[in-house]
Structure 1
Amino acid sequence: MRYFITGTAGFIGFHLARRLLEQGHEVAGFDGMTAYYSLRLKEARNAALAQFPAFQGTIAMLEDRAALEAAVAAANPDVIVHLAAQAGVRYSVENPKAYLDSNLVGSWNILDIARTIGVGHLMLASTSSVYGASPTIPFRETDKTDEPLTFYAASKKAVELMAHSYAHLYQVPTTAFRFFTVYGPWSRPDMAPFKFVKAIVEDREIEIYGEGQMSRDFTYVDDLVDSIIDLSAIAPSETNRVEGIDTLSHQAPFRAVNIGGGQPVGLLDFIRTIEEALGKTAKRKMLPMQQGDVRRTFASADLLVALTGRKPEIRLDQGIRTFVDWYLQHREELAL
């Protein structure tokens, strides 16, 4: 099949594109190569994908409508997977306009182009942050998601709503998947696993927010990629409605799906897992909750399992060990 993926120089986009290429699919990548974090890391991901003859990459911003239209037209994709976005919950407090430009304007461009070409399945990355500080656990796709705590979460919820309207108006089959704290090799340096491992290796303090009383439903990146690929073959329609728990709209071929294992881990247990993998004890600095943070995330995987037959299951200790091995192997080469 032919896939068009935005954000292929990013953490998740890189892993998804590489897996699809290894499976023999054609992948057209699109990435703005923004300087939000190390360009050296993004360039290394891009270079790894460029080794595949079936990969074609375009470097341009989502807001550049002409460049995006040309890249999609050249790819003629069966599936569009829109992963590119301005990431980072905390950064959205400092620079909300970056999220307006990329996550709203850029995503609208994707929606409108998908409508124009009549793509078979449009897939959009959303986030567990849309649940805000929901008191209901686990977080189910049918829960209310109208109280985002950050502009990042609000921008992702807005994309879901815009996508639903386009699915209704133009019958574009659309799946929005909500990620839960994805980690693994090649991850972003601003994410907690990367920051903690780097600080411990360099014998520096790690900053532990919320006095360590938070918990997260961690998802290893290979599990996430499995779920995206599984869902790519299940374009939303009445023929695959799951009674009782589905978010499949009654007005449009649109569905939102959690991608998480439903096994939250306390922050202090998470740190102990990293310490065991490194064989080194962290120096800890306890801090209060940061603005926009939530105490916990906890995915219901019921809908994902009903649709695909499986859910993320790689254990945290396995995933952290693989990430630590990758980091230690590449830290000098990539200036990590």
Structure 2
Amino acid sequence: EAELLDLKANPNKPATGTVVEAFLDKGRGYVSTILVQAGTLKVGDYVLAGPRHGKIKAMQDERGHDVQEAGPSTPVSILGLDGAPQAGDKFNVFQDEREAKSIAAKRTQLQREQSVRTQKTLSLDEIGRRIALGDFKELNLILKGDVDGSVEALTDSFQKLSTEEIQVNIIHKAVGAITESDVLLATASDAIIIGFNVRPQGNARVVADREEVDIRTYSIIYDAINDLKDAMEGMLSPELKEEITGNAEVRQTFKISKIGTIAGCMVTDGKIFRNGGVRLIRDGVVVYTGELVALKRFKDDVKEVAKGYECGMQIKNYNDLQEGDVLESFHEVEVKKTLK
């Protein structure tokens, strides 16, 4: 209440307020939408918002009309900051430009130190978990967008894609064009750069091509999420699934010296393949699992025998074959894993 009375008594005091949104406009540069909460903001004021600072070059109201000043409870868009502050950052007007620059530099340094501190280091439990999983993978991303809201939405969506086998790490996110420093950071951290409604700036594309850094640009959030999901599914190791190809019944056995036992069989269903596995079933019980050494039709070696045909079969390192046994042919196929 005292603060409200003070405002009414002195409306020209330096303005303070909150950043609502910030984005990169193609023609005008960094535009920040702010809500003045105290005092009066004027064109020409030197503003500090989070780690960003600058002199207000132009100010517009909610209808896009130019205004020279904005009082308490007034939302305006301002031009002139050297970057895009985050939504929720407080802003203050400074008389001394050097003081504002000094505070901005300190805040940037603190943010950098904090991001280094909060990077997840490997604990003993984490190492144990990765060893247990066997094949743990990480996907590092650098995220740049045109609007702070889009960057936050993409960050949340990407982090929700993390699984036990693949961890998604957003190592840097910001509003603005993709710069050379983003490419160098991606090189150092083996990251992929994702740009949402932004493109590489200056020498960034040349450096990315030289360093072989993957830059993906999107204009639809769902396209970015789906592409990342597909890439992660490609990183997952495929599951091996057994597929039974056919069955054959042993009609007669032949013992040949120095070779072993040959089974004369009739294929009852499916196909028998020479390069597949084979399972010996006797009275409904699996007796032996191995592989075929030979598959013949009369005297000729063949790759496969179809249903209704007779063939000769020899199992590697196994000779205890009896009439009436069933030989089941199978092979393993790779099944692509999908994210749950």
Q: TM-score, normalised by structure 2?
A: 0.22
Higher helix share: 1
Q: TM-score, normalised by structure 1?
A: 0.22
Greater Rg by CA: 2
